[in-house]
Amino acid sequence: MHVTRRGLLAGAGAALLPMGARAQGDAASLWPNRPIRLVVPFAAGGAADSAARAITPLMAQKLGQSFVVENRTGAGGSVGGAAVAQAAPDGYTLLWDASSHLVNPALMRGLPFDYAGFTPVSLVVTFPGALAVKQDFPARTVAEFIALAKARPGAISVGTQGNATAGHIGLLQFCKQAGIEVIHAPYRGGADAARDLAAGAIDATFSTTVSAGPVVDSGRARFLAVTSLARVPSRPEVPTLAENGFPGFDSNEWAALFGPGGMPQPIVAKLHAALAEALADAGVRQRLAQLGAVPVGSPPAEFARFVREGREQMATLVREAGIRLD
């Protein structure tokens, strides 16, 4: 048998490869061979949870294994985060998180895990926000809203889905750029804020389009602008804040897929491929549109950069605004 120098070197390289690395590679090539647990740190029936349940059946078809969605609520999403952070990085326990993933590290002390340690897979969908006002509110445009707020500083009440939520952060950014002061009214969710908007108990909301949508459609409130960079397909008639003199303004809630730290890249690639295929499905896109969600499906490297930059920006904003948890 003729053995070449190249063959000897290749064999030596394989022999020198650590057993743990070879075992991890073998496991990644066989993944998945059992059901995948998807931890959602939010209540069942909400927008983020519903989006997960709309997308994962198609991902399951692609991967040949089912997804078991588990709602682990509590402590602003950190209970669910801890469950995944402590799991083995084998691709069988994943996290479906939202903007709290960036906010919590800046607000919470003594967490038993590091949010920076997760493996980013993809920004899956966004939930565009909107500035909505009660039906009899005098302002009919963003410019009129700002003029009224400047004439009556600290008199206009604006509801969000809670302290340190995407709506609260977006409202702070808007007020800072507009040079206005309003009364922040935090609720336990966007639906609660919308209910008080419809009743006239508050003047406006800075929440998702899906939360305020039913109240607007009933004629009890009006959208002044959406807070996403582009107009929302389900609300094409509503201008963006960027169109109203706030170039680059982009503030949305979102849902994204993470794995525990150290998850093998072959598994990340398989997950992203299955996700991309699911997001391309017409039925899934229709269901997401009904939820007010805009599909994204960003590549892992792009999403990792989004998370890294977002965490730094959030820490600065929380510190400068003096945001505290309820």
Each domain of the chain, given as residue ranges in start order, spans 35-126+252-321, 128-244
* pLDDT of the residue at 293: 93
Report the range out of 98-102, 190-194, 224-228 with the highest average pLDDT.
Answer: 224-228
Name the class of domain 35-126+252-321: alpha beta
Q: Is the pTM of this model over 0.85?
A: no
Q: Is 49 exposed, middle or buried (0-12, 13-18, 19+ CB in 10 A)?
A: buried
Interstrand relation of 183-186 and 157-160 (parallel, antiparallel or unpaired): parallel
* pLDDT of the residue at 14: 46
Least confident of 37-46, 193-202, 224-233: 37-46
* pLDDT of the residue at 18: 60
Least confident of 98-112, 123-137, 213-227: 98-112
DSSP string, 172-197: HHHHHHHT---EEEE-SSHHHHHHHH
- In tens, the pLDDT along 175-188 reads 999 999 999 999 98
Q: Are both 35-126+252-321 and 128-244 of the same fold?
A: yes
* pLDDT of the residue at 317: 83
Q: Are 241 and 225 in contact (CB under 8 A)?
A: yes
* pLDDT of the residue at 20: 53
Q: Which fold has domain 128-244?
A: D-Maltodextrin-Binding Protein; domain 2 (3.40.190)
Q: How confident is the model at residue 1 (pLDDT cuts 50, 70, 90)?
A: very low
Taking all residues of the chain, what is their mean pLDDT, rounded to a whole number?
90
Half-sphere exposure of 309 (CA within 13 A, CB side): 6
| Three-class SS of 208-234 | EHHHHHHHHHCCCEEEEEECCCCCCCC
Q: Can you tell me which residue has the tokens 């299955």? A: 274
- In tens, the pLDDT along 260-316 reads 999 999 999 999 999 999 999 999 999 999 888 999 999 999 999 999 999 998 888
* pLDDT of the residue at 59: 98
* pLDDT of the residue at 16: 55
Q: How confident is the model at residue 8 (pLDDT cuts 50, 70, 90)?
A: very low
